Amino acid sequence: MREWKLLRFILIMVGIAVLIILVDISFFGSQFWTLNTINHYTEGTCVITKVDQLLQTADHGAPVVNLHVHYTVQAAKAYEATRFAWESEDIHTTARQPDTGLLQQYNVVIGQQRKCWYDPADPTQALLDRSYNFSGNLLSYTSIMLVPTIIAIFVLILFLAIWFQMLKNSFQRDWAP
């Protein structure tokens, strides 16, 4: 009976360790999927026609200014982008006034022709900055998951060794002359 309790504990710990390792694998898979997606964007020339600065209220109650960039690409069709770079889901700032810092950072000037990257299948998905900070994402992820991953691997090895030892002892006991 004692062996079954230990075996159940080992299986639970191995399950937790495997779960942590699967989280790690999914993180790295998503990073490579993102890089693959960005690499399929087509380079083009965008003409920035307008920049909207929409004042909204964030979840925490602070005002947020969202910048929407209107541009033309692909035979002069007009589109609107809500992000400058892959790293930011939306272009926003928590300042009360419209943020010119983002516009300056990405060198956004109305009427300017810019190199941009867009998804040919969905030109509403466009980027003015295609750079992707894989090392920064890896560093932030590692700072959170490094210790649990090392512990998970150690626990996995330790408990598998204990389990195999239990099986060996059980086999020797059951088959001893």
- Whole-number mean pLDDT of the chain? 67
Reported as a pLDDT band with limits 50, 70 and 90, residue 92 is very low
Length of the chain, in residues: 177
Angle at 35 between CA 132 and CA 70, to 5 degrees: 65
Reported as a pLDDT band with limits 50, 70 and 90, residue 50 is confident
Give residue-wise pLDDT tens across range 2-18. 667 777 777 787 788 77
Domain 42-131 has CATH 2.40.50: yes
What is the reported pLDDT for 62?
Answer: 55
Backbone angles phi, psi at 56, to 5 degrees: -130, 170
Mean pLDDT of 59-86: 60
What is the reported pLDDT for 122?
Answer: 77
Tokens of 140: 């932030």
Percent over 70 (pLDDT), the chain: 48
Strands in 14-165 per DSSP E: 42-57, 63-73, 77-81, 92-93, 113-119, 122-127
Reported as a pLDDT band with limits 50, 70 and 90, residue 34 is low
Q: Are 73 and 49 in contact (CB under 8 A)?
A: no
What is the reported pLDDT for 41?
Answer: 77
Domain boundaries, the chain: 42-131, 133-164
pLDDT at residue 21 is higher than 70: yes
Mean pLDDT of 19-23: 78
Reported as a pLDDT band with limits 50, 70 and 90, residue 109 is confident
